[in-house]
Structure formats: structure tokens, C-alpha cells
Structure 1
Amino acid sequence: MRLFFLLLLCSACAMAQEKPVYTDARNFQFIGKGLPTDPMYVRLDTVQTKPMTDAVKYLSTHSAGIAVLFQTNSPYIRARWQLAKRQFYANITPIAHSGLDLYCLNKGRWQWCGMGRPGDRDTLNDAPLVANMDTAMKQFLLYLPIYNQVTSLEIGVAPGTTIARIEKPAVDTAKRVVIYGSSILQGASATRAGMAYPSILQRKTGWEFINLGFSGNGKMEFPVAELLATMPAKVFVLDCIPNPSADEIRERAYPFIKHLLTKRPGVPILLVETAPREQGYFDLKVAQVVKEKNNVIRDVYIKLKGEGFKQLYYLPGKDLIGHDHEATIDGTHLTDIGFMRQAEVMLPLLQQLMKKSASAK
């Protein structure tokens, strides 16, 4: 009996001392990137952003919407990831802006199963994501941070188990939706990366979504339109009205949208108004600013439709986040509730546009 307990103790000690086997994530499939980049973990690289503003150049290094697909039969998954710097945001959780968010395919649906908690003192993180699973082979989807730059990522599994690329992933990369916009699109203020609305829509549809949200800087500069026009897409979404002023919309929206319409005539483009600001129900100046911006972009839409651009569509902002005034963290940026609501409002229209895009071929 004593020998039996000694053997159990030795076995437990060996498990405790077991070292995961780490694999560079670049060996697996990445989704959520409009174009190939160097380095891998940025949304746009320095060649692509050369004509753009310094703010967009910086924000494009954030990995919002980028995810890694892999399969493993390991009973646990760990991750080591290096960040460009420590971040602090008053309205975004550390898990969202600098952590990882893990989903597993369960009975044909992506189900949340774990997260990587970033440290508060160092840019190199090493954390468990999920443990004590059965050893059946499973598909996983790992979202990267929404408001930080990842410079390296390794995924750790148990020794003797398999981790590999997925031959038939549950994300159809032939159906790509490219979305350009503001901090709300980028993910402020989701509690974790998978709760930004493009990522919610990705899991609901099985399509690939490209998150090109640039916090405070989705201002419709023409070089962005030129770059968007080069990206493979079945549908484009312009959810950028929160950032530019009404005057900037007057100046920039028509040439920006017309360029994209002209260069990609077979691709539906959805133009999304900005949602009401919660402060605007009391602060009349805020309400007027939002109203004017939406009026201006609606006029641009009407003008372009009058010119015969049938592939342009419009989504009013009044119902995007519900009407109980509980969908934001600060009156502007969305909580998980707000992101879920916006995804639910957009989903039926995007499904229609995807069908139109397919039938246009």
C-alpha cells in the first residue's frame, strides 16, 4: 500500500513538472487579415500604410480581429506571447486590449473555452488558456489582442500530443467581409477580443471578417479607400461615421465611397450610420453633432444612388444598440451587450448582401 501511494505521488510530481511543447503560431492558419503582411501579427504593414497618417500607421499594428486557427488533442493549451508595450485604457479590460481569447468548435458552433490573462509588469506573457479537456482532436480559434501589438506568439500543448493546421477549418475564407471604421469597430470596449462585433458575426456566419477599425482615426482619408479597393472581399462595410466631423464627411465621403464603388463594381458596400450617443439624450450639442453627421452621410448615399450605384446599401444607426440606454460603457463605446446588439442588427442585411455578391459572379 505504501508503495502504491509513493507511485501516485511520483506520478503527480511528474505531471506538475511536465513542460508544455510550444509551437510558433505562424505555423498555423491566420484569419482576419485584409492582405498579407510582414510581420505576421499586424493588420497592415509599413508598405501598405506608407501614404497614411501616423495615427493609422500606429493603430494598424494592433492585432484587432486577427485570429489563429489550429487543432489539437492536448488536454490543455497554454500560450506565450510578446507584446510591443504595456498598455492602459480606462475603458477596456487588460484581457481585451492585451490578452488572448480562445474558442473551441463544439457540435458545429464556436464556443468560448478560455482566455490568456496578460501580466501587469512585463510584455512577455506565459499563461494557461484551458485545462483538463478530453483528448479528442478539436478545432480552436484564438483571437489576438484588440488594442496592442503582438510581436511573437507560441501555443503550448502536452508532450506527445498533436497540434497542427486544420485541413477543413470551420471558417469560410472565401466569404470575406472587410469592415473599415472607428474605435467601436476595433473593439472598444469589449471585455475580451472575441466580443467585438466583427468577431461575433464571424462565429455566427462562419465567414472571415476583416477588422480595420482605427481608434479615433477612421476618417475616410483617400489612401485608405485606395488600399481597401485592393483587398479580396465579398462585402465591404463602412462603419466609420463616428470619427470624422460633419465637414470631413462632406469633403471626403463622396470621393472615398465612389472610388471603392468604381474599383469594385461587383461587391456590395454597406454604409452604416453612427449610433446615437447616450449623452445626447441630455447634452443637446452632442445630439446635434451626431444628427448632422448622419444627415451628411445620408446625402452622400442618396447622391451616389442617384448616379446609378446599385451595389451601395445603407443602415440607419437608430436601432444599432437598442433603446434601453444600457449598451455602452461611457456613452459612446460599446459593452458586450452593445456589440451583441449591433451584430444582431447587421446580420440579416449582411446575409442578404453575401447572397447578392455570390449571385453577381
Structure 2
Amino acid sequence: MSAGPAPDRAWITTPVDAGLLRGHLELERTALGVLPHRLPARARRQCPDPNLALMQAQPSGVRLVFRTAATAVELDVLPTKTAYRGGPTRPDGVYDLLVDGRLADRATVSGGNLHTIDMATWSATTTPGPAGTARFARLPAGVKDIEIWLPQTEITEVIALRTDAPVEAAPGPGRRVWLHHGSSISHGSTAESPTGTWPALAAARAGVELINLGFGGNALLDPFVARAMRDTPADLISVKIGINLANTDLMRLRAFGPAVHGFLDTLRDGHPTVPLLVVSPVLCPLQEETPGPIVPDYSDGTLSFRATGDPADPGRLRLRVIREELSRITAERAEEDPNLHYLDGRLLYGEADFAELPLPDALHPDPAGHRRIGERFAERAFAPGGPFAAPTDT
């Protein structure tokens, strides 16, 4: 829909700044408004890879949070949508509006820029497009806390926030902050909406404040990501490691162990005693025994993936080997670090889950799979006795 206020109301415009946004690490001022980033500029400068630049700018877990008595809300945005050459058209991203923590409305914004990627060469072109407006009406009367979760797979430049009643910053959440890093599954590339990603679902169940550093295709043990996490205040930290290292064929077994140690060392430099959970990959038959790189496959008219590595090469990473190494490394480190924990990803999504909820493209879960992973993670991590269990009064 086109940008601009609906004409039938007296609107109040509130500037969008860091006081209204959560879930990002840095906010960039632009000619139109503000652009949330999930990595700081220093980290972005250390890796000019355009795919990482795209993924960290897609605001998975980023939301506007404010208190108001408004019954109508409008958000002007300039989205940048992503398309893959030769692939199916992707639906417009979803804006989830929550009232006092409960989903109350959804909206989409058509138009915007279109970023088209050729997955064969990873070249890309961007076609400019118009800004638009996400509109929410018929909200319940009375003062309430509102969250607007931005689409997890669309870069979203926030231009203006309008309401039919004054807005004030919501009070601090007063909840533990959970900082999570992972791959496209954590990013939520195939979730139905931003509150439907498995980290968002787990955070809602556990009542914690989420900072989601899931970067599609880019959970690669990058030192600059570890430093960004080191410098981010958090009460709980998890890192989901492995699948991107296998499907990019980025490193061999010799480099993997030291890279894991280095990443964890950096996290501990800033968070020496915070509960830290290392999560290995969920089940993915495509790469359990076959290394990458993976390539897209449109042979049946839909997007799927296949692995092209040599299963006979013992030095190349595949998921079974990654899980064995992560289990060993965390067990050894836990002897001196009692707040370090390990979770086998197959406990979140395993063989029985694959039989019931197969991976549609051989790599990513569908929305039901996200719900299952989120529920399982909440049960394993946040329940009493889990590594993220809430402290009890003594």
C-alpha cells in the first residue's frame, strides 16, 4: 500500500529512535528515517560480503515497543524485498502487532525496493521502489503496550510512526535478555511471520527479551560476530553452530575445533559467567554424511538444495562430525566452566520430526517445524533444571 496517513483521523507523528526499538545492535540514520542493523558498523567493515550485509540488515527479532491508548497505528516504511532469479515469487513480509504481549493484528507492505540475487553466481541487482504503510486499526481501547515486529526477511527502513493518541516509551522489560546467534533457521527465513521464528516463539514462552543474531547462511564462527556478542549486555547466550560451515564448505576439520574455541573464548571475555549454551545442528539428512558446498536445485519447479561434496573425504565437515566435535569441546571446557552447556540439535528436530514434518527444500523447516523447534528449545533450555532456568528464591 502507498505511504502516507489515512485521511479519516487526527494523527500524531512520533519520531522513531533507539528508545522505541529493541532487538538491534545499531541504528543508522538515513535520508528517510532509521535503519536497524543487527551488527555494528565496526563488524560490518571487517567483512564486505554482500550476503552478510543483506542478512544482518534484515531485522529478525527487531521490534518497535511503545505505550499508548491509540486504537489505530500506522508505520511508514521503505522495505527492500529479496528475490532469487529463477525462483518463485516470495510473498510480502509480515508486520506482527502485539498488544500486551499477544498477537492482535498483522499487516503487509507492497512495493519497496527489489533485491534480486542469482544463486548461481551470487551477483545481485537492486531495483528501486516506493515506500508504503503498514496499517493497524480497531485496536482495543485503553492504555496498552504495543510491539510491532518487523518482517524478518525484508530490510526495513522505518520512516514514520503515526497513532491516534500520544505515544510514550514503554518501561524497560525487566526481563532477562537472551542473546542468540545462528543460521537461516534461527533467522527465520521460512517462518510465517517475525513472531513465528523459533527463537521468537521460545522467547515468548520463556518470558525473556530476545536479541536474535541469526544470519541466513552466515553462522560461520566469524570473530567479529563473537566480538559483537561479547560487547552486548546479555543474561543468557546461545550459539547454534554447524550447518552453514557444512553447506558452505568453508573450513576443514583441522580449523573447526580451534575456531570454536576462539569464538567461545571471545564470548567469555565479555560474559565470563553468563549461562552459555552451544547448540549443534538439527537433523538435516542432506548433510548428515555429505559435505558441501550445497547448490540450489530447481529441477522439479520448486527450490530445493543438494550437497555436492565428497562423503569419502574425512577432513571435510558434515553434520555428524560437527556434532561429535561440539560435544567433545563443550564437555572438556565445562570442566572449568560450569555455566557452559551443550544441546544436541536433534533433540529439537530429529528423525521422528523429519518423518512427520519434512524439510520442504531439504534444508529449512516449515512454519510448523519452527513451532516445534521453539517449543522444544523452551522445554530443554528454560524449564527448571535447564541451562537457562529462571533463578529461584532461596
Secondary structure at the counterpart of residue 190 of structure 1: coil
Task: Name structure 1 gaps, 5 residues minimum.
Answer: 1-14
* Aligned residue runs from structure 1 range 1-361, under 5 A: 17-18=8-9, 20-26=11-17, 28-33=19-24, 35-39=25-29, 41-52=36-47, 54=49, 55-83=51-79, 85-88=80-83, 93-96=90-93, 99-105=94-100, 110-120=101-111, 123-158=129-164, 161-166=165-170, 168=171, 171-172=173-174, 175-245=176-246, 247=253, 248-279=255-286, 289-306=318-335, 308-321=336-349, 323-325=352-354, 326=357, 328-351=359-382, 352-355=386-389
- Given that 1:28 and 1:164 are in contact with CA atoms closer than 8 Å, whether structure 2 keeps it comes out as no
Secondary structure at the counterpart of residue 81 of structure 2: coil
Q: Which amino acid aligns with 2:103?
A: W
Secondary structure at the counterpart of residue 83 of structure 2: coil
Give the distance between the partners of 1:133 and 1:121, measured in 2 at CA. 26
Give the distance between the partners of 1:43 and 1:88, measured in 2 at CA. 21
Tell me how far 1:217 sits from its aligned partner: 1.2
Give the distance between the partners of 1:295 and 1:91, measured in 2 at CA. 37
**Aligned sequence identity (%):** 17
Q: Which amino acid aligns with 1:305?
A: A
**Distance change >3 Å, CA 242–CA 23, structure 1 → 2:** same
Secondary structure at the counterpart of residue 265 of structure 2: helix
Secondary structure at the counterpart of residue 63 of structure 1: coil
Q: Which amino acid aligns with 1:101?
A: D
Tell me how far 1:192 sits from its aligned partner: 1.0
Larger gyration radius, structure 1 or structure 2: 1
TM-score by length of 1: 0.80
TM-score by length of 2: 0.74
Tell me how far 1:141 sits from its aligned partner: 1.0
More helix per residue: 1
**Distance change >3 Å, CA 255–CA 111, structure 1 → 2:** same
Cα deviation, 1:189-231, whole Å, max 9, x if unaligned, reads 1111111122112322332111111111110022322222111
- Count residues in correspondence: 329
Tell me how far 1:53 sits from its aligned partner: 5.0
Task: Name structure 2 gaps, 5 residues minimum.
Answer: 1-5, 30-34, 114-128, 247-251, 292-306, 312-317
**Distance change >3 Å, CA 213–CA 134, structure 1 → 2:** closer
RMSD of aligned alpha carbons: 3.0
Give the distance between the partners of 1:227 and 1:92, measured in 2 at CA. 34
- Given that 1:69 and 1:141 are in contact with CA atoms closer than 8 Å, whether structure 2 keeps it comes out as yes
